[in-house]
Amino acid sequence: MPIFKPWGDGHDDVFVVDGVTLEAPNPPVSRSVRKSLQRNKYENAEAHLVRHLVCPGDTVLDLGAGLGLTAILAAKASGSGRVVAYEANPAIAPLAEKNARRNGVQVEIRNRAIAARRGVCDFHLRRSFPASSSIATKGSKTIHIEADAAQDVIDEIKPNVIVCDIEGIEREVLVESNLSSVQRMVVEVHPQIIGLSGVVECAEALALAGLRLVPSLCFEQVLVFDRDGSAAAIPPFSSSR
């Protein structure tokens, strides 16, 4: 069971998550996110899935890395494999990179957005950084950042595992991508942004790509897909863990 707790003794900005050390100072990390770290509510479903789905030697692409938790867990699980993580928020990406170094793993953090097309895009910052997105929301602050095209990145890295939490642009990124190299995928969908029809469209596009939904591993908005059905043997995440 993942345990989130303050490091203590003058290190109140550092939290331990089942052996992963995360620095999360305020600012730029909001008090709400820090509370979620303390209460075991920060990406715990994704963390459980990554620990079980990533195999030694895997190449992992983490889209929307946040503080680096899933990228670090992927690096631990893949061992000699490669992990590339995208985090668009310029205040959070350095923390993800620092956290990877702190945990002694090799993760390439790219402080860029991911999009259907390459170029400069608007990125909308929110006080709680996980809600920051390429989609404008009330009260957000807009900045301009460089974006890489998802297909270019997939062609370059050839990941066999993708972890994706990109706050509402998952449909435009996944539906248009060639995912032939991908064997397993963890996707957080955002029906409040793309609607249930958008979620269905994502699932149908992945099914056409040969990636089938694994219902036993899905938890709330976090969906799991795999190519050969082997993921069904993994224990499901439970919030009571």
Whether 1 has a pLDDT exceeding 60, the answer reads: no
pLDDT at 43: 92
- Do residues 178 and 149 touch, judged by C-beta distance below 8 A? no
Tell me the sheet residues that pair with 110.
86
Domain of residue 148, residue span? 42-232
Question: 63 in a domain, yes or no?
Answer: yes
Question: 168 in a domain, yes or no?
Answer: yes
Q: For residue 148, give the CATH number of its domain.
A: 3.40.50.150
- What total number of domains does the chain contain? 1
Whether 9 has a pLDDT exceeding 70, the answer reads: no
How many whole angstroms from its chain centre is CA 61? 9
| Residues 104-127: tens digit of each pLDDT | 999 999 999 999 899 999 887 877
Q: What does the alpha-carbon distance between residue 49 and residue 88 come to, in Å, rounded to a whole number?
A: 23
Average pLDDT over residues 2-19: 61
Q: What is the DSSP secondary structure assignment for residue 19, as one 8-state letter? A: T
Question: 199 in a domain, yes or no?
Answer: yes
Q: What does the alpha-carbon distance between residue 78 and residue 184 come to, in Å, rounded to a whole number?
A: 13
pLDDT at 5: 42
| Residues 135-176: tens digit of each pLDDT | 777 778 888 999 999 999 999 999 999 999 987 889 888 888
Question: 156 in a domain, yes or no?
Answer: yes
pLDDT at 16: 86
- Do residues 73 and 47 touch, judged by C-beta distance below 8 A? yes
Question: 237 in a domain, yes or no?
Answer: no
Model pTM score: 0.91
Question: 226 in a domain, yes or no?
Answer: yes
Residue with the larger pLDDT of the pair 107 and 42 = 107
> What H or E segment, with its residue span, contains residue 95?
helix 93-102
Question: 12 in a domain, yes or no?
Answer: no
Q: What is the average pLDDT value for the chain, to the nearest integer?
A: 90
Question: 196 in a domain, yes or no?
Answer: yes
| Residues 44-80: tens digit of each pLDDT | 999 999 999 999 999 999 999 999 999 999 999 999 9
Whose tokens are 């992927």? That residue is 74
pLDDT at 4: 38
